[in-house]
Structure 1
Amino acid sequence: MSPRQRDRVRSLVADSEAPIDAQTVAAELSVHVTTARFHLNNLVEEGSAIAINLPPIGVGRPRVGYRLVVAPPVDDLMLMLVARLGETPEQREELAAEVGRAWAAKHLPSVAIDAELVPDPVVLAETILTRLGFRITDVVSAFGQHEITLCGCPLEKIEHELPEVARGVVRGLLETALTAGSPALAAQYAVAVRPAPGGKCELRLNLAQVADSTAR
């Protein structure tokens, strides 16, 4: 049986609502039942399927049916790991911010910083956010304060279950982006992240000028 036919065996097992036996697979693929059983047993040996005893049709021995093993969702495992970042939401948010800083540092473009030039904080924010897969949906700026609404889709699963972790990651990556753009700029702004009202996977990012820049 060719690799393509082996894939068809796997597909038949996956598409079947009930355990499927070798006779059915052989009939569907027009191959000998021994060949079908050989490749079904290979699925079992590799851990992709399990064999189940089925009642006989009429008089005879029980049949053997096969069904695929459904792997547990990786997202669930990831959430369980992330949930152990800290014992409280506040601890998880701070630790997530550290992860966000490292994530940003890994993906920021390598450019020389001009000490005399203070870049636009919104441009810096948009650069790192879009680079990491976020989508900016709205920007409102007034009197040196900037409010950026973004789709948090890269963190949608985490945001739904552990919103404090999503907020921490975004805050951390923005703080690093500001520092990389201009240390002076980073000292001028405080970064805050909160859910956008009514947004399914949206976050509201605030860059607020601090009254005393030496306090940061």
Structure 2
Amino acid sequence: MTPRQRDRVRSLVAEAAEPIDAHTIAAHLEVHVTTARFHLNNLVDEGAAVAVVLPPDGVGRPRIGYRIVVPPPIGDLVVMLIARLGETPEAREALAAEVGRAWAAKHLPPGDLDEAIPDPVVLTETILTRLGFRITGVVSAFGDHEVTLCGCPLQDLEAELPEVACGVVRGILEAALDEGSADLSAHYGVTVRPDSGGACELRLSLAELSPASRD
């Protein structure tokens, strides 16, 4: 059975109003019932489906039916919990930045980069990519850098609590600059904002600080 046919098995089980058995799947796909049962059992092993006992058709043993396991909406629960961690968007962003710094520290141990003073854009791309983000664009001018990234790991938060998504990314970069070089963290300020076009993207700015603001 090809990957496309395996997907059709999953789709048939998901679309069925009641648990569906291997014979029904085999008839729909015009494959042997043993093949259908093999892939149904794989769905069970993966945790994507469960097997249930069905009444027999006439005289005989009960049949085994399969239905898809619907995952609980944990994403909604997480968003609701996070929304209660700060009374204002500013407070939530500050807390999220602390979490972002801790996340970066956990996944990127010291000494990860070889350069004494790494390029800030290379540092940004390396760290965010390793944490599951996707860089979609970089614009550099006069020492400042604007990075556009897909907030895929934080997409639920980005839609409901954009200040939290922005805070996490800001914290990641602040920790990364500290880890990369004291000179980087002293010379660059990090700001993150949602994409103005409403896309699932964030805009990250690395702006050189003025000499007065470094003191």
- What's the TM-score once normalised by structure 1's chain length? 0.67
The equivalent of 1:191 in structure 2 is 190
SS at match of 1:148: strand
Relative to 1, partners in 2 of residues 1:209 and 1:16: Cα closer, same or farther, differing over 3 Å?
closer
- Tell which deviates more after alignment, 148-157 or 93-102: 148-157
The equivalent of 2:124 in structure 1 is 125
TM-superposition CA deviations, 1:132-155 (whole Å, max 9, x none): 011111111111111011111111
TM-superposition CA deviations, 1:94-142 (whole Å, max 9, x none): 000000000011111431788x942211111111001101111111111
Q: Are 2:111 and 1:111 equivalent residues in the alignment? A: yes
Aligned residues of 1:49 and 1:69 also touching (Cα < 8 A): no
The equivalent of 2:96 in structure 1 is 96
Relative to 1, partners in 2 of residues 1:27 and 1:156: Cα closer, same or farther, differing over 3 Å?
closer
Q: What is the Cα deviation at residue 72 of structure 1? A: 2.9
What letter is aligned with 1:93? E
Aligned residues of 1:196 and 1:202 also touching (Cα < 8 A): yes
Aligned residues of 2:178 and 2:184 also touching (Cα < 8 A): yes
Relative to 1, partners in 2 of residues 1:18 and 1:187: Cα closer, same or farther, differing over 3 Å?
same
C-alpha separation between the residues in 1 aligned to 2:186 and 2:89? 26
- The residue correspondences of 1:16-31 to structure 2 (distance < 5 A) are 17-18=16-17
Larger radius of gyration: 1
Relative to 1, partners in 2 of residues 1:25 and 1:161: Cα closer, same or farther, differing over 3 Å?
same
Percent same amino acid among aligned pairs? 65
What letter is aligned with 1:83? A
The equivalent of 1:203 in structure 2 is 202
- The residue correspondences of 1:29-40 to structure 2 (distance < 5 A) are none
Aligned residues of 1:135 and 1:150 also touching (Cα < 8 A): yes
The equivalent of 2:75 in structure 1 is 75
Q: What is the Cα deviation at residue 177 of structure 1? A: 0.3
- The residue correspondences of 1:42-191 to structure 2 (distance < 5 A) are 70-111=70-111, 117-191=116-190
Q: What is the Cα deviation at residue 82 of structure 1? A: 1.3
Aligned residues of 1:100 and 1:171 also touching (Cα < 8 A): yes
Q: What is the Cα deviation at residue 85 of structure 1? A: 1.7
Aligned residues of 2:110 and 2:179 also touching (Cα < 8 A): no
C-alpha separation between the residues in 2 aligned to 1:71 and 1:90? 32
TM-superposition CA deviations, 1:170-189 (whole Å, max 9, x none): 00000000000001210111
- What's the TM-score once normalised by structure 2's chain length? 0.67
SS at match of 2:96: helix
C-alpha separation between the residues in 2 aligned to 1:213 and 1:117? 24
Gaps spanning 5+ residues in structure 2: where? Answer: 1-9, 26-49, 53-66
Relative to 1, partners in 2 of residues 1:113 and 1:134: Cα closer, same or farther, differing over 3 Å?
closer
TM-superposition CA deviations, 1:22-64 (whole Å, max 9, x none): xx969969xxxxxxxxxxxxxxxxxx899xxxxxxxxxxxxxx
C-alpha separation between the residues in 1 aligned to 2:149 and 2:22? 52
Aligned residues of 2:157 and 2:164 also touching (Cα < 8 A): yes
Number of paired residues? 176
What letter is aligned with 1:106? K
What letter is aligned with 1:184? D
Relative to 1, partners in 2 of residues 1:26 and 1:83: Cα closer, same or farther, differing over 3 Å?
same
